[in-house]
Homo-oligomer: A and B are copies of this chain.
Amino acid sequence: MKADERGAAGSRTPGRATRGETVPTVPPASQAARRTAVDVSALLERGRTLASPVLRAAVDRLAPPMDTVAAYHFGWIDAQGRPADGDGGKAVRPALAVLSAEVTGAAPQTGVPGAVAVELVHNFSLLHDDLMDGDEQRRHRDTVWKVHGPAQAILVGDALFALANEVLLELGTVEAGRATRRLTRASRALIDGQAQDISYEHRDRVSVEECLEMEGNKTGALLACASSIGAVLGGADDRTADALETYGYHLGLAFQAVDDLLGIWGDPEATGKQTWSDLRQRKKSLPVVAALAAGGDASERLGEILAADAKSSDFENFSEEEFAARAALIEEAGGREWTAEEARRQHTIAIEALDAVDMPDQVREQFTALADFVVVRKR
Contact = CB atoms under 8 A, between A and B. Distances in A.
A185 interface: yes
A59 B48 CA distance: 37
Contacts of A132: 150-151, 154-155
A195 B165 CA distance: 20
A150 B133 CA distance: 11
- Work out how many copies of this chain go into the complex: 2
A187 interface: yes
Nearest to A121: B162
A159 B199 contact: no
A128 B151 CA distance: 9
B180 A169 contact: yes
Contact of A181 (B155, B158, B169, B181): B169
B170 A188 contact: no
A184 interface: yes
Q: Which of A158, A159, A194 has the largest count of B CB atoms less than 10 A from its CB? A: A158
A194 B155 contact: yes
A155 B65 CA distance: 23
A199 to B, nearest CB: 7
A165 B194 contact: no
A375 interface: no
Contacts of A192: 63, 66
A161 interface: yes
A28 to B, nearest CB: 37
A322 interface: no
A270 interface: no
A327 interface: no
A176 B180 CA distance: 11
